[in-house]
Amino acid sequence: MMAGRIKPITIAAIVFFLVSAVAPLFVASWATLFALILAKGIVVLGIVLLLQAGQVSFGHAMFFATGAYAAAFWGKFVGGGDILLFLVLGGVSSTIFGLIVGLFVVRYREIFFGMLNLAFSMVLWSLLEKMFHYTNGADGIRVARPGLLGLTFTPETFQYVILYVSLAIAIVAFYAVQRYLDSPLGHMLRAMKSNETRLEYLGMSARRVLLIGYVISALLGGIGGTLVAIIQQIATPEFGFWTKSGEFVFIAILGGGAHAFGAFAGAAMFECVRFYAAAHLADSWQLILGVVLIVIILYAPNGLIGLRQRYGQARQGGH
């Protein structure tokens, strides 16, 4: 890629972020929709990161839940709160949790990596579900509307505040993940997918490379979880259930795991289908999403962002 030339996918990302900043100003109900898209996109960014190393975590909802409960616990046991404080809490706790779990799971690959992640996440889920005294069990904990830097907001303003906070974090996360993947460390992460043995022969520790990637993806999961808990004003054990982890992997594949923007493209598609299907076809949004997923897997396995590339290739005569 020539320096100075902007890739089409970067333009797509800029357009997407601009639309999420401007469109909700015209349709108020889109503020929450776009905030959710951005927050979930941040989580899925972490899944895409691990996909670069060829690893699929079927338990990433545990970091999502960690971030959400960090905010919820503060509200329940300390009271009050601030968006920035919640984000710091969610980020720090999920990073620490990610480091602890990561130390164990990076020893394994593929199905074993996925299985162990699932096992850890289910342990967390059962604790959240059963430690009723602390977590209110399946009902979850309400997250009261926090302020920002000492300011308090009405519900109408707040939905825009959280939208722009999510947007700012999403842009930073997107840019940082891009930079990370382009750095030597990111290339080593990608090398794990193609040839891990060679990486070791070059003198790198594959486990350490994966651990760094894993902790970053846990941090992204936690931040996304905190944002969703603030947006939806609740944290429930369902945030850490395996179906949630499946949903994140689903979004990553839907968008396309080859590029960081796939996370946001997938999240946008997923949440829009859910938003409109839930509004018009009350009980069958899950059915529709399932069919969408099957069509994507069978006919466009590189996801939404892969469609454009395929179209581009066809135009250039298959190269």
Close Cβ partners of 128 (under 8 Å, ≥ 6 residues apart)? 65, 69, 135, 237, 240
Among 154, 283, 315, 317, binds another protein (CB under 8 A): 283
- The rounded distance, in Å, linking the Cα atoms of 230 and 143 is 6
If one asks whether residue 126 binds another protein (CB under 8 A), the answer comes out as yes
Close Cβ partners of 18 (under 8 Å, ≥ 6 residues apart)? none
Angle, vertex CA 222, rays to CA 240 and CA 189, nearest 5: 105
Among 152, 194, 286, 313, binds another protein (CB under 8 A): 286
If one asks whether residue 301 binds another protein (CB under 8 A), the answer comes out as yes
List the x/- string, 235-254, binding to another protein by CB under 8 A: ------xxx--x--xx--x-
What's the per-residue H, E or C state across 143-188?
Answer: CCCCEECCECCCHHHHHHHHHHHHHHHHHHHHHHHHHHHHCHHHHH
Angle, vertex CA 286, rays to CA 161 and CA 255, nearest 5: 60
Q: Is the torsion defined by CA of 16, 222, 236, 85 positive or negative?
A: negative
If one asks whether residue 293 binds another protein (CB under 8 A), the answer comes out as yes
If one asks whether residue 122 binds another protein (CB under 8 A), the answer comes out as yes
Structure-block tokens of residue 118 = 């699932």
Q: Are residues 227 and 234 in contact, defined by beta-carbon separation less than 8 angstroms?
A: no
What is the dihedral angle through the alpha carbons of 97, 103, 108, 114, rounded to the nearest 10 degrees?
Answer: 0
Among 84, 110, 179, 208, binds another protein (CB under 8 A): 110
If one asks whether residue 108 binds another protein (CB under 8 A), the answer comes out as yes
If one asks whether residue 112 binds another protein (CB under 8 A), the answer comes out as yes
If one asks whether residue 106 binds another protein (CB under 8 A), the answer comes out as no
Interface size with another protein, residues (CB under 8 A):
42
If one asks whether residue 275 binds another protein (CB under 8 A), the answer comes out as no
If one asks whether residue 118 binds another protein (CB under 8 A), the answer comes out as yes
If one asks whether residue 273 binds another protein (CB under 8 A), the answer comes out as no
Span near another protein by CB under 8 A; candidates 151-159, 224-232, 290-298, 309-317: 290-298
User: Which residues sit at the interface with another protein, rule CB under 8 A?
Assistant: 51, 56, 58, 104, 107-108, 110-112, 114-116, 118-120, 122-123, 126-127, 129-132, 241-243, 246, 249-250, 253, 283-284, 286-287, 289-291, 293-294, 297-298, 301
